[in-house]
Structure 1
């Protein structure tokens, strides 16, 4: 899923631009949107869903003839984007969230440029924007990937009819390693080379007999203890090939993909390669 944030100040035309982008992107795939409404409430206390929520429910789902709304406690922008990806969105447009790290189309002049990161294009407010150029810009953004979005992609493979099962592997940051507590790991990849190596692993695995599809995604940047690092999704005709391919794919990632790890522990920080040496 490609993600873009449309940011700016009040009356800069954010909603108008988001609407135009949605209209254009709908011709190319499924579009999801996120609107930060920090001082509003979707389920007022005098509604049934509001009463459920105020009674302590962690999740409340409201269904009408045309809509499904899920109301969740402790919401984050990442939760919203994960939900869009899990539900099959090809594009996500976030209105607002100017203090996030997301890639941004910024309308107007930032009052404090140093406080707003990742502006990829700055546009005049309420102008005749080049929507076609902005759509191309959105296509150039990195993918927002979840495990469910990879599973959905594998299920959309026309050859899935030949599959007897889908298996997944999720690697996470181990909190306790050799009796030392790890707080986070910073993953750094060799740009371009790492992606090509992962693509080759997928192609090699899919060349095996009875393997229908293989998708791999490895995250980079700072990942905290317990959070996801890598996803592998395999569809195969039979379980024997299925599980062996998961194992083979993971070993190939460790051997062939140039990704370096800096581990942060309560006893100090170090590059994993240096510690092993």
Structure 2
């Protein structure tokens, strides 16, 4: 899923621009949106779902004839994006969230924002030429995946009719290793070589007997203890072919892909490659 954010002050034209982007991006795939609503309560106490929520439910889902709405506690922007990704959505357009690390289209002189990919005037007319250029920016963004999204993607492969098994591997940040406590890891990819290596590993494992599809996604940036680092999803004709392929895939990713890891512990921080070769 590719993600782009539109930020600006009130009445700067954010919603009009988001709507124009949604219309254009829907021609390339499915689109979901996330909007910062401030302190507005969407599930008021006088409604039945509001009463459920106030009684202590962690999640409440309301269903009508044409809509499904969910309300959850302790959720944030990352949770919302993961929900869209889990549904197999191709594009997410976020309105607001100036302090996020998302790539941003900034309207006017809005300040205090990072990762601005383009800045355009406030209340600009979202005409077709402008929107087309912004769509190009959205299409150029890196892909975001969850494990569920990759499983959905592999199930859409026509070869899935020959599959008898789907196996997954999830690598996570290990917090405790002996007496050492790790708070987070930071990953950097040497691109475009890293993507080429991952593609080569995928294609070579797909050539093995009984392997129908292989998907690999390795995250970059800072990843906290307990969070996911890498996903591998493989579809095979039989389970006996599946597990050796999963094992080979992760070992090759670790050995061959130019992806560097920095570890942050209670007492030090270091690039793992440097320490291993010291």
Q: Same fold (TM over 0.5)?
A: yes
Secondary structure of the residue aligned to 2:38 is coil
Unaligned runs of 5+ in 2: none
Give the Å deviation of 1:260.
Answer: 1.3
2: CA distance between counterparts of 1:65 and 1:171? 40
1: CA distance between counterparts of 2:215 and 2:208? 14
Give the Å deviation of 1:24.
Answer: 0.9
User: How many residues were matched structurally?
Assistant: 274
1: CA distance between counterparts of 2:274 and 2:225? 20
Moved more, 153-162 or 122-131: 122-131
Match of 1:61 in 2: 61
Match of 2:106 in 1: 106
When the two chains are superposed, the root-mean-square deviation of aligned CA atoms in Å is 1.0
Match of 2:120 in 1: 123
Match of 2:189 in 1: 189
Match of 2:265 in 1: 265
Post-superposition Cα deviations, 1:202-252, rounded to whole Å, max 9, x if no partner, equal 101111111110000011111111010000000000001111110010110
Give the Å deviation of 1:273.
Answer: 2.5
Secondary structure of the residue aligned to 2:37 is coil
1: CA distance between counterparts of 2:269 and 2:90? 38
Post-superposition Cα deviations, 1:94-115, rounded to whole Å, max 9, x if no partner, equal 01111111111111112x3xx2
TM-score, normalization: structure 1? 0.96
Match of 1:246 in 2: 246
Secondary structure of the residue aligned to 1:254 is helix
Match of 2:44 in 1: 44
Moved more, 260-269 or 236-245: 260-269
Match of 1:276 in 2: 276
Moved over 6 A (4+): none
Secondary structure of the residue aligned to 1:6 is strand
1: CA distance between counterparts of 2:125 and 2:275? 56
Unaligned runs of 5+ in 1: none
Question: Superposed, which structure 2 residues align to 1:138-157 within 5 Å?
Answer: 138-157=138-157
Match of 1:178 in 2: 178
1: CA distance between counterparts of 2:240 and 2:267? 42
Post-superposition Cα deviations, 1:149-208, rounded to whole Å, max 9, x if no partner, equal 111110010111000011101000001113211111111221211111111111011111
